[in-house]
Structure 1
Amino acid sequence: MYTRPEASIFNIDGFILRVTLDMLSVQSNNDIPWDVKKPKAFWRGRDSRRERLDLIDLARAHPHLFNASLTNFFFFKEEEEQYGPKEKHISFFNFFDYKYQISIDGTVAAYRLPYLLGGSSVVLKQDSPYYEFFYHELKPNVHYIPFKRDLSDLVEKIEWARANDDQVKIIAENGRKYAQENLMPRDVYCYHAALFKEWSKRLTSEVRVRPGMEHVPIEEHEKRFGSCRCHRLTRHDEL
C-alpha cells in the first residue's frame, strides 16, 4: 500500500525513533509554501545504479543547482573514497524543503516515486525501461519533468525549471493531484484486486484449496472491493 518503513530516523535523547512513511503522512507533513522552498534539485539514496554516482558528479560540478549525496555504499564500495563520504539520513519530509525532487532508478524502478508525487515539490524523473502499474497514466511535463537516462540533459532541465517557476509549480500541483486521486491505499488495493481477478480468468489448471488455506467465496470477495476502477488494468503488460 505504498508504506515505506523506517523512512525517517531520529535520535532523540539517545533513543532511535523510526517513522513509517505512507501517502497520507507525506501529504500532511510538507506544507512549506512554494515560494519558500529552495530552488535546488534534491536527492538522497544508496549506490544501487551507476547513474546515481553520475548524479554526484553533476552535483559537485553544479552546487548551485543540486543537493545530492549518497547515504550508503554496497554496489560500488570500491568507489566510496571518490563519491563519499556517506551523508547522514534525513527525514523524508524534509526533502520537500526543495522545489525539485529527483527520481532516479535503483536496481529497478525507484519505489519512492509515488511519495515524491504526493509531496509539494515537482518531480524530475529519469527515463526508464522499468515501470510500476500507474506509470502509463503519467504524462511528461504535465505530472513530472522527464530527463534522459544518462542524465545528459538534467542540468538543462533544472535550469529550465528555475526559469519557468509558474509553469513548474503547476506541474508539481498536477503530480500531487494525481497521487491523491490514484495512489492512495484504496486505489492500490483496488488495482491488485482487478489484477488478480483478471489473472484468475487465465488459469488453465484447477484451483485446489490446500490444508491451511481459506476459501473466500467470489460473492464475498467482490463486496470488499467496492467501486473498483478495473479499467486501469487494460493498458498494462502484466497480463
Structure 2
Amino acid sequence: MLWKKKKKQESPRELLNITTRNGQIASVDNHNSFQTRAESSLKQVLDAIKLGIPQHEIQFSLHTGDFPTESLVKGNFYYCCEKKEDLDFVFPDFIFDHWQQAGIPDFKKTVSEIQKEAEKPYLHPRMLWIGNVQTHPNREKIIKYSEQYPDLIEAYNTYVDQAVLGGKKDIPYITLKDHTHYKYLIDIEGKGYSGRIKMLLFTKRLLFLQDRVWKSYYHFELEPYKHFIPVKNDLSDLMEQMRFAEQQGEEYYRTITQNAYDFAVENLQYEKAVQRIQKLISAL
C-alpha cells in the first residue's frame, strides 16, 4: 500500500488520493483541493489510464498545493520539485487542462490564441509583468523597478481571480494572448511553482526567468541563453540582463524566442502531459 489514510485532523489540506485496479479507476478521494485543481488533474489521470497502465492495484496521492510540504515518498506526486533528482515525483500540473478562475478556460485554446498573436510584431519595446504581489516579496521588486524605469518595464500588482470576475476595475487585466504585445516578458516566483511559464514559452517573446526553488518538470530541460535569459533570485541583475539582451541584437532575439517556441510546441502539449502521467503511474 503506497499511502495510508491518516486521522481526520491530520489530513493534508490539498490532496487527491486515487486507486486503480485492473487498469481502471477504483476509487477517488479529494481532500479540499483548491478551486478545480483536483477535477483537472483527475481528467488527466483518466486520459493517462486510457493509454494503458498495469492491471495490479495501484494507490497514489497527488498533492495539489503549490509546493511539496513533506518528504518525498514513492506513490506521492506533486506539481513541482526542487532538484532534478526528484523528477519521478512530479506530475504535469492541472493547467494543462484549464484554470478557469485565472482566465484560462481551456489550455489548448489559450495556447492556440497565443500562437496566433505571437506571429504579429510586438507593440511595446518594454518588459511586462502582471500578478499578485502579495504571494512573494520578490514580486514587489519588479513593481519598484517599473516605477524607477517606466520606459523599460511595465508591471502591475493585481489579483487575477478578481480581475477576471469583474473586481478591481482600476487595475488592467492583460490576457496571456496580449502578453505578446510586449518585447520582453518576465516570470517571477510566487507562493510556489509557476504555472504560466509553459504558456509564456509560446509567445515568441524574450522570456526572463528568475531563479527559484520550486520548478515544474520541464523547467530542468530549459537552457539559459538558449531558451530564456536568467535573472538572479533577488532580481539584482535584472537591468544588467536587459542591457545584455538589447546588445545582442534582433537576430539573437529571434533565435532564442524561436528556440523557446519550438521547445514548447514539442514538449508542452496536453497529450505529452498525459503520456508523462501514464509513465509515472505505470512505474508504481
**What is the correspondence of 1:8-87 to structure 2 with a 5 Å cutoff?**
8=103, 20-21=106-107, 22-33=110-121, 36-47=122-133, 48-72=135-159, 87=171
| Residue of structure 1 equivalent to 2:45 | none
Cα distance, 1:31 vs. partner?
Answer: 2.2
Structure 1 CA distance for aligned equivalents of residues 187 and 176 of structure 2:
13
Residue 69 of structure 1 contacts residue 86 of structure 1 at CA under 8 Å; is this kept in 2? no
Residue 44 of structure 1 contacts residue 70 of structure 1 at CA under 8 Å; is this kept in 2? yes
Are residues 157 and 113 of structure 1, via their aligned partners in 2, closer, same or farther at CA, if it must alter by over 3 Å? same
Structure 2 CA distance for aligned equivalents of residues 120 and 25 of structure 1:
13
Q: Deviations over 1:115-166 (max 9, x none)?
A: 0001121110000111111111110000111000000001111122122232
Are residues 50 and 182 of structure 1, via their aligned partners in 2, closer, same or farther at CA, if it must alter by over 3 Å? same
Q: Deviations over 1:30-65 (max 9, x none)?
A: 3212xx442211011012110101110111111121
User: How large is the RMSD of aligned CA atoms in angstroms?
Assistant: 2.4
Cα distance, 1:5 vs. partner?
Answer: 2.2
Q: SS at 2:118's partner residue? A: coil
| Residue of structure 2 equivalent to 1:231 | none
Structure 2 CA distance for aligned equivalents of residues 4 and 40 of structure 1:
27
| Residue of structure 1 equivalent to 2:271 | 186
Letter of the 1:180 partner, please give it.
Answer: V
Structure 2 CA distance for aligned equivalents of residues 2 and 25 of structure 1:
15
The structure 2 residue matched to 1:169, chosen from 250, 254, 263, is: 254
Are residues 119 and 73 of structure 1, via their aligned partners in 2, closer, same or farther at CA, if it must alter by over 3 Å? closer
TM-score of the aligned structures, taking structure 1 as reference length = 0.69
Structure 2 CA distance for aligned equivalents of residues 125 and 2 of structure 1:
24
Structure 2 alignment gaps of length 5 or more: 1-95, 162-167
Are residues 73 and 195 of structure 1, via their aligned partners in 2, closer, same or farther at CA, if it must alter by over 3 Å? closer
Structure 1 CA distance for aligned equivalents of residues 160 and 97 of structure 2:
25
Letter of the 2:231 partner, please give it.
Answer: F
1:125 aligns to 2:209 (yes or no): yes
Structure 2 CA distance for aligned equivalents of residues 146 and 86 of structure 1:
32
Q: Deviations over 1:191-231 (max 9, x none)?
A: 11111112x1xxxxxxxxxxxxxxxxxxxxxxxxxxxxxxx
Residue 147 of structure 1 contacts residue 153 of structure 1 at CA under 8 Å; is this kept in 2? yes
- The total of aligned residue pairs comes to 179
Q: SS at 1:120's partner residue? A: coil
Letter of the 1:40 partner, please give it.
Answer: R
The structure 2 residue matched to 1:5, chosen from 100, 103, 127, is: 100
Q: SS at 2:274's partner residue? A: helix
Q: Deviations over 1:67-88 (max 9, x none)?
A: 11111399xxxxxxxxx99622
1:195 aligns to 2:280 (yes or no): yes
| Residue of structure 1 equivalent to 2:236 | 152
Q: SS at 2:155's partner residue? A: strand
Residue 208 of structure 2 contacts residue 228 of structure 2 at CA under 8 Å; is this kept in 1? yes
Cα distance, 1:6 vs. partner?
Answer: 4.8
Residue 71 of structure 1 contacts residue 86 of structure 1 at CA under 8 Å; is this kept in 2? no
Letter of the 2:118 partner, please give it.
Answer: N
| Residue of structure 1 equivalent to 2:40 | none
Identity %: 25
Q: SS at 2:112's partner residue? A: helix
Structure 2 CA distance for aligned equivalents of residues 67 and 116 of structure 1:
16
Are residues 188 and 32 of structure 1, via their aligned partners in 2, closer, same or farther at CA, if it must alter by over 3 Å? same
Structure 1 alignment gaps of length 5 or more: 9-17, 75-83, 201-239
Q: SS at 1:118's partner residue? A: coil
Residue 102 of structure 2 contacts residue 160 of structure 2 at CA under 8 Å; is this kept in 1? no
Residue 46 of structure 1 contacts residue 70 of structure 1 at CA under 8 Å; is this kept in 2? yes
Residue 98 of structure 2 contacts residue 105 of structure 2 at CA under 8 Å; is this kept in 1? no
Residue 118 of structure 2 contacts residue 202 of structure 2 at CA under 8 Å; is this kept in 1? no
| Residue of structure 2 equivalent to 1:98 | 182
TM-score of the aligned structures, taking structure 2 as reference length = 0.58
